[in-house]
């Protein structure tokens, strides 16, 4: 379900894998007022996919009765997204560095790192259940 207002767009997804398919069309609707830069679009899509997947799998423990909400807003220079899950949260300060020698061969655990590398700013609220993501236009 997508709810549209004059200042923001909102996407509400059940925590099931097929819901991720709705993310790209949602982002394309958000993108229309912005520039057409393909690289930035792809970076935003990757970061949002990771944030939503983390909310579904780790936050909501893949419970389809729990929701992940994505909110878009924009200013002259910044594109803002908020991703909120209904889970217990996590300690984002304790996420291990995937580039550390002891973790370099691990097949998972790179999502938060990738998000931080591609976005202008990533911050957490509400014990990690709410992720604020910003990109420069």
- pTM comes to 0.87
- pLDDT tens digits for 5-43? 447 899 999 999 999 999 999 999 988 655 567 789 999
List of domains in the chain: 29-136 (3.30.565.10)
**Cross-sheet strand order for the sheet of 9-14:** 2-4, 9-14, 67-74, 78-84, 130-136, 121-125
Which residue do the tokens 């729990």 mark?
Answer: 66
Q: What pLDDT does 77 receive?
A: 86
Q: What are the residues whose beta carbons fall under 8 Å from the beta carbon of 71, sequence distance 6 or more?
A: 8, 9, 10, 11, 81, 82, 84
- pLDDT tens digits for 83-129? 999 999 888 778 777 777 787 777 677 888 899 999 999 999 999 99
Cα angle 4, 6, 7 (rounded to 5 degrees) comes to 95
* Structure-token pair, residue 112: 């938060």
HSE-CB at 46 with a 13 A cutoff on CA atoms is 17
| 3 state DSSP class of 92 | helix
* Structure-token pair, residue 84: 């909120």
């Amino acid at each position: 379900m997508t709810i549209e207002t004059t200042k923001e767009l909102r996407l509400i997804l059940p925590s099931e894998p097929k819901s991720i398919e709705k993310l790209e069309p949602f982002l394309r609707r958000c993108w229309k007022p912005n520039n057409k830069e393909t690289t930035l679009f792809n970076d935003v899509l990757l970061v949002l996919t990771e944030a939503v997947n983390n909310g579904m799998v780790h936050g909501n423990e893949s419970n389809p009765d729990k929701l992940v909400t994505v909110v878009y807003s924009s200013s002259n220079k910044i594109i803002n997204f908020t991703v909120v899950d209904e889970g217990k949260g996590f300690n984002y300060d304790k996420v291990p560095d995937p580039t550390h020698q002891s973790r370099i061969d691990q097949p998972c655990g790179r999502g938060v790192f990738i998000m931080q590398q591609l976005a202008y700013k990533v911050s957490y609220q509400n014990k990690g259940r709410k992720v604020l993501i910003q990109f420069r236009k």
